């Protein structure tokens, strides 16, 4: 019979472990500051027949998960909780009811962490797992009958003897800090080191996707890149279109990965021209897609996880060594032949088990898809690094978890064309989950006739990331050119603070109404709601505040701030970078700053 094991402790949470065809032993350790770890060890129990999990009724949604493993049910009082943070929640940070279906985490999708937060941005409870590779299902919710928080996790038996750690943090710290501590904790359990990002990876880039889609060619792109360099963009991402003459936005012709000579007659020469203007080149590949119109399709038609009819392409099955060898050779030979500087590796989250995914057979060398994905990505990364140590590899939400972070060094927000709020929230979520990541915005685009202040808002909503720009630079008005130049210069000048400083995002239910980053005495703070009072502190991370940049990312024309003691000089700038006003303050306290929409203010602080 299935067994339930229950653990209670002085922190008021209860952990229940339900076994299904396994025996699970658990050692409970209290770490520090109300952080608890449950070190679990699973072994098969062959005596037990296959059955659904014998657990509370609402965990029955896990019953489809028929593998041997454990279901974990955590109960905690819901007092003071305001919402729930998940890596892939996007704009949905509200607290759901416990009849919702769970979400899946694995190497190519999301990460196994849930954070309940309070009304003042404080941590209520953060739950995380050391298992970051295999399919794990998670659900965080409120129980309607009791007002308790119910957290459910399903962990499969991934080996004959399988160990994992459940971490529960109920310490009274900010939810931002709780999440960053989970990131550090994951690093202790993963044997491969993170792939570092070069300085170029943190500088503004030009992307061809929204500006040209598949209609790219050498002459047009070189013209855009010359303009991009004048704005301080030092790399271009050549997206979909270089490998096909088809412009129907599908993936029917993915898989051969041959440069179209009609678009790029001499691709190595094209890359050299970019290098001559001191611009790096990253090239897009759709990793899992093998298009039905590709010449190579016949070779791999029997090695697919699934056929995606909408995309007219199959999803390659990485459990076959031939599939992995083909992909690794494709990227390595492309790098050697054309001397590019990086790869945009897309759709890795399509590597999954589908309803029609074939069972394991003797021609495969992995049973689990996620093991094969891990093998593929580490071999791709190593093969490319052997040729070019500072290679850039871009991944995209939602394949952003701690395991796959070992094999990429640019992590971009998922596609959200012209949506400031989605871009801002995606950036914050990535930085909160893994503070050391090199986070990129989704490609920024706007209508050519848009106003300077609105162009500035697009930039300010993404300023805490590496900015990717994807508009036709020839079509910009003179005023909008000034806006772009102003904020790209700001992003480069303060890249260290913006991208590598101590980052905090506040008010997740308001889609992060404020975001800030601090480094070596400099604070940069963006406010994205009109009329909000922002409070500056005397010091951050033990370092005294010396200067602050307040960015008006709202639709209003004023900013309200509470300044710590000191004397201040204040310079207000318009969205185009023009000096609007200079003000001095003899002491700290409440101030109303006349900062136009899309503008910024620079405060220098002097001790009294």
Q: Average pLDDT for residues 17-26, to the nearest whole number?
A: 90
Distance, in Å, from the CA atom of 485 to the CA atom of 475, rounded to the nearest integer, reads 15
- The rounded Cα 363 to chain-centroid distance in angstroms is 35
Q: What is the pLDDT of residues 434-472, one digit of tens each?
A: 999 999 999 999 999 999 999 999 999 999 999 999 999
Q: What is the pLDDT of residues 184-198, one digit of tens each?
A: 999 998 988 899 999
Global confidence as pTM: 0.96
- For residues 503 and 435, the answer to whether their CB atoms sit within 8 Å is yes
Query: How many other C-beta atoms are found inside a 10 Å radius of the C-beta of residue 35?
Result: 18
Distance, in Å, from the CA atom of 516 to the CA atom of 526, rounded to the nearest integer, reads 6
Tell me, what's the pLDDT at 538? 96
Is residue 14's pLDDT more than 60?
yes
pLDDT band, residue 1 (cuts 50/70/90): very low
Tell me, what's the pLDDT at 57? 44
Is residue 170's pLDDT more than 90?
yes
- For residues 51 and 69, the answer to whether their CB atoms sit within 8 Å is no
Tell me, what's the pLDDT at 32? 81
Tell me, what's the pLDDT at 529? 97
Half-sphere exposure of 173 (CA within 13 A, CB side): 18
Query: How many other C-beta atoms are found inside a 10 Å radius of the C-beta of residue 267?
Result: 23
Q: Flag the least confident range among 3-12, 111-120, 556-565.
A: 3-12
- SS3 call for 194: coil
Q: What is the pLDDT of residues 502-553, one digit of tens each?
A: 999 999 999 999 999 999 999 999 999 999 999 999 999 999 999 999 999 9
Q: Average pLDDT for residues 339-363, to the nearest whole number?
A: 97
Q: What is the pLDDT of residues 379-412, one digit of tens each?
A: 999 999 999 999 999 999 999 999 999 999 999 9
Tell me, what's the pLDDT at 61? 52
Is residue 47's pLDDT more than 90?
no
- For residues 497 and 519, the answer to whether their CB atoms sit within 8 Å is yes
pLDDT band, residue 52 (cuts 50/70/90): low
Which residues have a Cβ under 8 Å from the Cβ of 402 and sit 6 or more positions away? Answer: 111, 132, 183, 186, 187, 190, 434
- SS3 call for 517: strand
- For residues 162 and 25, the answer to whether their CB atoms sit within 8 Å is no
Per-domain residue ranges for the chain? 4-189, 500-606
- SS3 call for 120: coil
Residue-by-residue DSSP string for 466-515: B-EE-S-GGG--HHHHHHHHHHHHHHHHTHHHHHHSEEEEE-GGGT-SEE
In the structure encoding, which two tokens stand for residue 434, read together? Answer: 């893994």
Give the sign of the dihedral formed by CA 8, CA 13, CA 16, CA 17. negative
**Order of strands across the sheet that contains 69-77:** 4-8, 14-20, 69-77, 148-156, 136-142, 103-105
Which residues have a Cβ under 8 Å from the Cβ of 132 and sit 6 or more positions away? Answer: 105, 107, 111, 112, 186, 189, 190, 401, 402, 403
Q: What is the pLDDT of residues 283-329, one digit of tens each?
A: 999 999 999 999 999 999 999 999 999 999 999 999 999 999 999 99
Q: Are strands 205-207 and 235-238 parallel, antiparallel or unpaired?
A: parallel
ω into 398 cis (within 30 of 0):
yes
Share of the chain above pLDDT 70, in %: 96
Which residues have a Cβ under 8 Å from the Cβ of 332 and sit 6 or more positions away? Answer: 383, 384, 387
Strand partners, 236: 206, 281
Q: For the chain, give the mean pLDDT.
A: 94
Q: What is the pLDDT of residues 358-383, one digit of tens each?
A: 999 999 999 999 999 999 999 999 99
In the structure encoding, which two tokens stand for residue 377, read together? Answer: 């990505």
Is residue 49's pLDDT more than 70?
no
- For residues 452 and 576, the answer to whether their CB atoms sit within 8 Å is yes
Distance, in Å, from the CA atom of 485 to the CA atom of 232, rounded to the nearest integer, reads 8
- For residues 200 and 392, the answer to whether their CB atoms sit within 8 Å is yes
Alpha-carbon Rg for the chain, nearest whole angstrom, is 25
pLDDT band, residue 141 (cuts 50/70/90): very high
């Amino acid at each position: 019979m299935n067994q339930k094991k229950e653990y209670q402790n002085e922190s008021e949470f209860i952990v229940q472990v339900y076994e299904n065809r396994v025996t699970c032993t658990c050692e409970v350790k209290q770490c520090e500051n109300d952080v608890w770890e449950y070190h679990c060890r699973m072994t098969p129990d062959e005596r037990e027949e296959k059955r659904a999990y014998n657990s509370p009724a609402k965990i029955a949604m896990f019953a489809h998960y028929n593998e041997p493993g454990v279901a974990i049910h955590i109960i905690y009082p819901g007092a003071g909780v305001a919402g729930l943070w998940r890596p892939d929640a996007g704009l949905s940070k509200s607290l759901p009811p416990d009849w919702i279906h769970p979400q899946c985490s694995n190497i190519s999708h999301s990460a196994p962490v849930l954070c309940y937060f309070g009304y003042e941005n404080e941590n209520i409870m953060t739950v995380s797992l050391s298992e970051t590779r295999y399919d794990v299902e998670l659900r965080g919710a409120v129980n309607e009958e009791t007002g308790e928080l119910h957290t459910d996790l399903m962990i499969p038996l991934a080996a004959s003897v399988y160990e994992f750690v459940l971490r529960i943090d109920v310490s009274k710290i900010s939810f931002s800090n709780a999440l960053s501590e989970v990131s550090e904790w994951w690093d202790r359990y993963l044997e491969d080191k993170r792939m570092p990002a070069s300085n170029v990876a943190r500088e503004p880039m030009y992307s061809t996707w929204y500006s040209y889609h598949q209609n790219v060619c050498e002459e047009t792109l070189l013209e855009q890149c010359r303009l991009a360099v004048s704005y301080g963009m030092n790399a271009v991402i050549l997206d979909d279109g270089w490998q096909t003459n088809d412009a129907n936005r599908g993936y029917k012709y993915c898989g051969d990965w041959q440069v179209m000579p009609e678009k790029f007659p001499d691709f190595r020469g094209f890359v050299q021209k970019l290098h001559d203007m001191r611009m790096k080149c990253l090239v897009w590949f759709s990793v899992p897609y093998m298009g039905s119109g590709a010449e190579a399709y016949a070779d791999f038609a029997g090695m697919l996880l699934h056929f995606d009819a909408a995309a007219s392409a199959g999803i390659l099955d990485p459990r076959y060594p031939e599939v992995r060898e083909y992909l690794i050779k494709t990227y390595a030979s492309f790098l050697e032949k054309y001397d590019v500087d990086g790869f945009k590796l897309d759709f890795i989250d399509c590597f999954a088990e589908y309803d029609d995914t074939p069972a394991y057979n003797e021609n495969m060398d992995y049973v689990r898809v996620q093991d094969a994905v891990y093998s593929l990505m580490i071999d791709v990364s190593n093969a490319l690094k052997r040729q070019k140590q500072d290679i850039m590899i871009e991944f995209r939400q939602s394949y952003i978890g701690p395991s796959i972070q070992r094999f990429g060094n640019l992590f971009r927000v998922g596609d959200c064309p012209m949506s400031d709020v989605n871009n801002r929230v995606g950036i914050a979520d990535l930085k909160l989950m893994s503070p050391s990541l090199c986070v990129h915005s989704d490609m920024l685009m706007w209508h050519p006739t848009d106003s300077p202040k609105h162009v500035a808002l697009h930039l300010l909503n993404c300023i805490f990331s590496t900015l990717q720009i994807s508009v036709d630079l020839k079509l910009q008005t003179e005023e909008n050119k000034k806006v772009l130049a102003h904020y790209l210069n700001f992003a480069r000048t303060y890249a260290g603070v913006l991208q590598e400083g101590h980052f905090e995002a506040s008010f997740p239910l308001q889609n992060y109404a404020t975001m800030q980053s601090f480094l070596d005495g400099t604070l940069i703070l963006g406010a994205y709601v009109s009329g909000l009072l922002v409070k500056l502190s005397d010091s951050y991370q033990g370092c005294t505040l010396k200067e602050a940049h307040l960015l008006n990312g709202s639709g209003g024309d004023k900013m309200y701030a509470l300044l710590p003691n000191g004397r201040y000089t204040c310079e207000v700038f318009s969205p185009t970078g023009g000096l609007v006003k200079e003000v001095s303050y003899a002491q700290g306290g409440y101030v109303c700053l006349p900062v136009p929409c899309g503008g910024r203010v620079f405060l220098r602080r002097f001790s009294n």
